[in-house]
């Protein structure tokens, strides 16, 4: 099995940060309960507080596929429709594990 790393960026409409975080909190709590979720962490861009960044680690492509089918992901999509200034940018990655084995992989 190959872990999948996902980086998703959401640019928020001005004044929507508090609403976004309040709406995302119960969704994130549900995601943390999913089988195959190794980590699902929300971050805020230091230089642009209207940019939120999810960094996710999934046990496998199958776990990620199951994740996107969950009802709470439909809730996330509906919330994004009200808070996002533009379509989210989502990048799916696999580790190349270069360099120091303790530092060259996220979450290993």
**pLDDT tens digit string along 18-36?**
999 999 999 999 999 999 9
Domain 13-93 -> CATH class: alpha beta
Give pLDDT tens digits for 69-92: 999 999 999 999 999 999 999 999
**Torsion of Cα atoms, 54 then 60 then 66 then 67, to 10°:** -10
Average pLDDT over residues 39-50: 97
């Amino acid at each position: 099995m190959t872990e999948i790393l996902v980086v998703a960026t959401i640019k928020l409409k001005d004044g929507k940060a508090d609403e976004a975080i309040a709406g995302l909190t119960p969704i994130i709590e549900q995601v943390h309960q999913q089988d195959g979720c190794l980590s699902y962490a929300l971050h805020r861009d230091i230089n642009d507080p209207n940019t939120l960044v999810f960094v996710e680690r999934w046990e496998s492509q199958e776990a990620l596929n199951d994740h996107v089918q969950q009802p709470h992901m439909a809730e996330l999509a509906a919330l994004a429709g009200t808070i996002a200034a533009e379509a989210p940018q989502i990048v799916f990655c696999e580790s190349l594990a270069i360099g120091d084995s303790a530092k060259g992989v996220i979450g290993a």
